[in-house]
Every structure is written in C-alpha cells, then in structure tokens.
Amino acid sequence: MNHEKIFNCPIEAPISLIGGKYKAIILFYLINQTLRFNELQKFIPQATPKMLTQQLRELEGEGLITRTVYPVVPPKTEYSLTEFGESLIPIVDALCDWGKNYIGNGCSGLRATPS
C-alpha cells in the first residue's frame, strides 16, 4: 500500500497542490524568474511573512519550487521553479488570461517575459 492521494476527478490533483491561498500567485511570479524572499513579499504584500514562508515551504515540499540559501551576511535566499513546477505553467497562464480579460489589466512588468 502506498500513501498517494486518491482523486475521483483529475482536477483535484492540481487543486490539492496549488490550492493554498497564495500558492498559485507565488508560482505566477516565479515563472521565468528567480526571486528572493523580500522580492516575493513586495509582489504579494497581503501575505504576512509567516504565510509566505508557510506556502513556500509547502511548495518546496511538493517539489514545485527550489529554495537556495546562500551562506552570506546578510542572508540571501532564492526561490525558483523546478521542472515539475514549470509543468503547471499552462494552468497559471489559463488563470492569468481569464483574469486579464476580467479585470482588464495585466501584470506586465512585474513578471519577466520569455525571450
């Protein structure tokens, strides 16, 4: 026996991964760019440090992002998408496309664009 979750419907799987309050938003900002903790904080000011840390650790535990700590002073930590995390980009893009139509603006300039 294993401990994998059983899903009745395939959309439950991605929802269980990125259903956290800020997880999809974090992934959005990490597309095509590596960010430090305080950069993420500026992009997502409504998340307290506690929440941001919590969601980042969960994403890391799920294998969707990497966390790289540089042993320097002052501390420096960088977050970026793993390949597995990148597999979710179509979902994030679909959310973003719909959102842009709905609220009539984009995140242009906030998120790095592909070359």
112 interacts with its own copies by CB under 8 A: no
Q: Hunting for tokens 């977050």 — which residue is that?
A: 79
User: E-assigned strands of 38-100?
Assistant: 65-70, 76-81
What torsion, rounded to 10 degrees, do the Cα atoms 97, 36, 70, 49 define?
A: -110
48 interacts with its own copies by CB under 8 A: no
Distance of CA 1 to the CA centre of its chain: 31
Q: Which of residues 1, 2, 3, 10 is near its own copies by CB under 8 A? A: 10
For 53, what's the count of Cα atoms within 13 Å in the CB-facing half-sphere? 4
Nearest approach, Cβ of residue 8 and DNA (Å):
13
Residues near its own copies (CB under 8 A): 7-15, 19, 24-25, 28-29, 43-46, 87-88, 90-103, 105-107, 110
Residues near DNA (CB under 7 A): 20-21, 36-39, 46-51, 53, 56-57, 67, 69, 74-77
